[in-house]
Amino acid sequence: MPHATIIGAGIVGTSTAAYLQREGFAVTVIDRVPPGEGCSFGNAGGLAFAEIMPTIHPGIYKKLPGWLLDPLGPLTIRWSYLPRALPWFMAAARNTLPGRFAEITKARAFLGLRVVSDFEDLLKTAGCHDLMVYRETLRVFESQAQFDSEAHERDIKKAHGFPVEIYSGDEAREMEPDLSPAITHASTHGGWYFVKDPERVVKTIAEQVARDGGTFLQKEVKEIKVEDGKATFITFADGRTLPLDRLVICAGAYSHLLARQLGDNVLLEAERGYHIVLPEPGVKLSRSITYARTPGAATPMAMGLRLAGTDEFAGLDAAPNYKRADALWHVFKRALPGLRPPDEKATRWMGRRPGTPDSLPVIGPSKHVQNVFYGFGHGHMGLTWGPSTGRMLAELMGSKPANADLTPFRVDRF
């Protein structure tokens, strides 16, 4: 039986383990924390399969100056970190050129095609299909100008097979009565469901992997040893080693540090996101909502209403600024006037999204080490694309013929 060692126990790593088992692999999953307790823990819970626009696109330039001048705005850079992040931002700017923008959008649309079916596949097998809510996220606007500013994005989605539905403010309030009277327009996203507990999703898939014979190790990987073009063993921080047959790196925002050891250089930044959870929010939502005023989402979850979003560039190790989590409450208070202030029951969190400058993940083999494969760099779309990434990697590593062109996601594109 072939064996695969997977570094990373988030949604991408656990999904990869589950699909590799179906291809006849024995699997070992390694992470510093238990499954689902890294970046997968705190996301907005969205299966946002219609979000095909790159994170950084031409339309965002008008908003950037105001965002960057606000230390608690949707996007911030800790200025001491800017010199290190500059190559990433320069590459991101090049990817907004018209031809490149079209290529990226097409690749993201491809990744969205099987999101729901791949997610259903894993959740049904693990016995937790009820964690997925098949209710479209609602995007709300507070002016005609705000609504019109996204017309081009709606046209692009329609052209790729993700048409949106349009509602008046009153129709939106019929669906979600706690929305503000100031909301004038609303729309769907063309495809955006949600899960009630992202951590539980990952843990339940991991539990099924373990029942099927998989092994989970809570250890920190320090070094990957390469001999004659193959990864032969890994060394842990405690000095112990583990021999390798095949290795898959799904280590999120830390993945580029491991890839660098293998000669694969990737432009990857920790796009630090925040959330605040209100167990008693004072409002009721039947679906997730996004607010055109700011990137982010308000999602009703098992533990309360989660307000998640923002993008902070400060590196892997900088201390969190939880004022950014509280700022989400102030923003969504405008859309949900009945939202109660955070109390002692509210919880706050910061996580490191692994972002590439072209808003596409790295999926596929190493260019220098023959038995190593990658699945990382999903940015804001880790939960959405995680199961499909796992399926494609398993097909690539197993006996099934490739049914996807992974060229846009190759590791040597940077």
Determine what percent of the chain is predicted with pLDDT higher than 70. 97
- How far apart are the C-alpha atoms of 338 and 322, rounded to whole Å? 23
Nearest to 383 by CA among 214, 254, 208, 192: 192
Provide the pLDDT confidence category of residue 79 given band limits of 50, 70 and 90: confident
Q: How confident is the model at residue 262, as a pLDDT?
A: 97
Q: Give the count of beta carbons closer than 10 Å to the beta carbon of residue 412.
A: 12
Among 76-80, 111-115, 394-398, which stretch is predicted with the lowest mean pLDDT? 76-80
Q: Which two tokens stand for residue 394?
A: 């398993």
Q: What is the pLDDT of residues 96-148, one digit of tens each?
A: 999 999 999 999 999 999 999 999 999 999 999 999 999 999 999 999 999 99
- DSSP state at residue 196: S
Q: Which two tokens stand for residue 376?
A: 């990382």
Q: Which two tokens stand for residue 398?
A: 């197993």
Indicate the fold that domain 3-413 takes in CATH: FAD/NAD(P)-binding domain (3.50.50)
Helix (H, G, I), strand (E, B) or coil at 79: helix
Q: What is the pLDDT of residues 17-60, one digit of tens each?
A: 999 999 999 999 999 999 999 999 999 999 999 999 998 877 77
Q: How confident is the model at residue 61, as a pLDDT?
A: 67
- For 11-62, the DSSP string reads HHHHHHHHHHHHTT-EEEEEESS-TT-SGGGSS--EE-TT--S-SS-GGGTT
Q: How confident is the model at residue 75, as a pLDDT?
A: 85
- How far apart are the C-alpha atoms of 293 and 309, rounded to whole Å? 12
From the centroid of its chain, how far is CA 45? 9
Mean pLDDT of the chain: 95
Q: How confident is the model at residue 245, as a pLDDT?
A: 98
**Per-domain boundaries in the chain:** 3-413
- How far apart are the C-alpha atoms of 142 and 179, rounded to whole Å? 11
Among 58-67, 76-85, 245-254, 287-296, which stretch is predicted with the lowest mean pLDDT? 58-67
